[in-house]
Structure 1
Amino acid sequence: MTLHANITNWAERVDLAAAFRWTVKLNLHEAVANHFSLATNPEGTRFLINPNGRHFARITASSLIEIDANDPSTMDRPDAPDPTAWGLHGSIHRALPHARCLMHVHSIHATVLASLADSRLPPIDQNSAMFFGRQVVDADYGGMAFAEEAARCADLLRDPKITTLIMGNHGVLIIGQNVADAFNRLTYFERAAETYIRALQTGKPLRVLSDAVAEKTAQEWEAYPAFAEFHLREIKALLDEEGASYAN
């Protein structure tokens, strides 16, 4: 029996911890803010999430907490999550069973995009086409993601086709079917946002893909065999080579 044999969802915990660690490598994190969560039951209401006040660089598989979105006593627990994590992730997991993995960050380029009057990401290249017809912009920021604000955000994500919430004046939230899916999409969104912002900085006209080509490319991304899984596998291999403690 292994040291962690009594901890449920161990493989998923390891994947999620690896995503936290690589987010630091990519400088997509912010202080001890931002949160990733992963549903652990079919209804999506039980989920893993990072502990309150823990830097992404120190997250381990065993340090992730498991909470129930339908348990009102959660915030009375000694290991209660951050209040905005409970608000945003709890609201989405409670309402949307299809939202299996959520990743919310205030990464630089996603937040620059979220600060523009028009925060939509147009399909100007192959990467940005991944999000064509699969993004929604929240243009009604009303403060931190406590219960009321979070419930409004969850309502914007009811269409299962939507994978990306561009949170105006705030940041971005990505939905995935698992850790690999969500993290791959998160990294591609940040790269696509950077490309778009740099393109705008040239002051030159943009070459925007037609809707037909953008949708075709988005579907090709969705059907690309095991790409996200390979990406996460390699991240874990690189972390293992460094002797990182994420899998503890």
Structure 2
Amino acid sequence: MADGGVDTPLSELRRDLAAAYRLIALEGMDDGIYTHISARLPDGPDGEKRFLMNPYGLRFDEVTASNLVTVDETGAVVDDPYGAGVNAAGFTIHSAVHMARHDAVCVLHTHTVAGVAVSSIQEGVLPLNQWSAQFFGRVAFHDYEGIALDLDERQRIVADLGDKYVMLLRNHGTLLLGRSIAEAMKLALNLERSCRAQIAALGMGLTPVVLSDEVAEHTAQQYQAAYDSTEAGNAPDPEWAAMLRRLDKAAPDYKQ
């Protein structure tokens, strides 16, 4: 079953976030010790906003449910089992989104070669296939301002994101939001496939067949209806269940 966000038991939220880190690593979508996936936690005892992130310095394939770090909206560490804190640039981006978008349980940021390449062209993601059609008219853009250490950039990230769940950080990478960790992972995997397929198709030197706006929008709505049904609890999530089974075989220690 997909993670249900702040109403989900903390142990399950930690497990699912650790699973996301491991899945990104298995897919070769990590970047050493950089980039982050965060999950929003229930508010603290005084109403402070809190979320989980990876300990700074660990590779994604080293993240477990028990070593995730809890931070508040100011970046202050609330709980740090590993003892290394979190990456400041990661905090800037993720805290901005979590504080502004309360519908987003998970925020997932990557620096993949394909994602960075597509974020570096003016056109962004083209509707060339079924994977990429789901993002038609649903991708936000934020211009590169340097390494995200300036807290003032948070308001610009939020303004550029608007109400979308997918953003290309120009010349930088990708940012995905999910109403659950499962949804963010599915969006991230499909966006990565879309970027890889776009690079492959355009690299052949032949004429690409771009889907019509009507077909692309129809496909995007079909995807959206399926996501909405799952997030509303009206349908099971066999895709997320399959991902967790994969980890149970490939990296069972993620749950520790």
TM-score (norm 1): 0.87
Report how far residue 192 of structure 1 moved. Answer: 0.4
**Which residue pairs with 2:3 in the alignment?**
none
Would the aligned equivalents of 1:114 and 1:170 in 2 still touch at CA under 8 Å? Answer: yes
- CA 44–170 in structure 1, closer or farther in 2 if over 3 Å, else same: farther
Q: Which moved more, 1:192-201 or 1:150-159?
A: 150-159
The 2-side partners of 1:247 and 1:65 are apart by 15
Between 128-137 and 226-235, report the one with greater CA deviation: 226-235
Choose which of 99, 116, 119 in structure 1 pairs with 2:104.
Answer: 99
Paired residues for 1:1-16 under 5 Å: 9-16=10-17
Separation (CA, whole Å) in 2 of partners of 1:176 and 1:81 = 21
Residue 244 of structure 2: aligned partner:
236
Q: For the structure 1 residues 201 and 18, does the alpha-carbon distance in structure 2 shift closer, same or farther, using more than 3 Å as the test?
A: same
> Could you tell me which residue of structure 2 aligns to residue 4 of structure 1?
none
Q: Which segment drifts farther, 91-100 or 164-173?
A: 91-100
What fraction of aligned residue pairs are identical, expressed as a percent? 31
Contact 1:44 1:99 in 2 (8 A): no
- What SS class does the counterpart of residue 141 from structure 2 fall into? strand
Q: Alpha-carbon deviation of 1:79?
A: 4.8
State how far apart, in whole Å, the 2-side matches of 1:202 and 1:228 are.
39
The runs of 5 or more residues in structure 1 that have no matched partner are 1-7
TM-score (norm 2): 0.85
Q: Deviations over 1:66-96 (max 9, x none)?
A: 2221x46449x86531101111111111222
What is the RMSD computed on CA atoms of the aligned residues?
Answer: 2.2
User: CA offsets, 1:196-246, max 9 Å, x none?
Assistant: 111111222221112221111111112226499322211211221245200
1:29 is aligned with what amino acid? D
Residue 145 (structure 1) aligns with: 148
Q: Give me the whole-angstrom Cα distance separating, in 1, the residues matched to 2:125 and 2:48.
A: 28
Conserved? CA contact 1:15–1:232, under 8 Å: no
Runs of 5+ in structure 2 lacking a partner?
Answer: 1-8
1:29-178 counterparts in 2 under 5 A?
Answer: 29-41=30-42, 45-69=49-73, 71=74, 73-74=76-77, 79-116=84-121, 118-138=122-142, 140-146=143-149, 147-159=151-163, 162-178=164-180
- Secondary structure at 1:156's aligned position in 2? helix
Matches within 5 A, 1:168-247: 168-224=170-226, 226=230, 229-242=237-250, 244-247=252-255
TM-aligned CA deviation for residue 45 of structure 1 = 3.2
8 Å contact kept, 2:38–2:106 = yes
How many Å apart are 1:27 and its aligned residue? Answer: 0.5
Distance 1:72 1:181 in 2: 25
Tell me the distance in 1 between the aligned counterparts of 2:157 and 2:85.
Answer: 22
Q: Contact 1:119–1:168 (CA<8 Å) still a contact in 2?
A: no
Q: Deviations over 1:134-175 (max 9, x none)?
A: 10122x21101121333321221122xx11110111000011
Q: Could you tell me how far apart the structure 2 residues matched to 1:31 and 1:203 are? A: 33
Question: Which amino acid in the other structure matches residue 100 of structure 1?
Answer: V
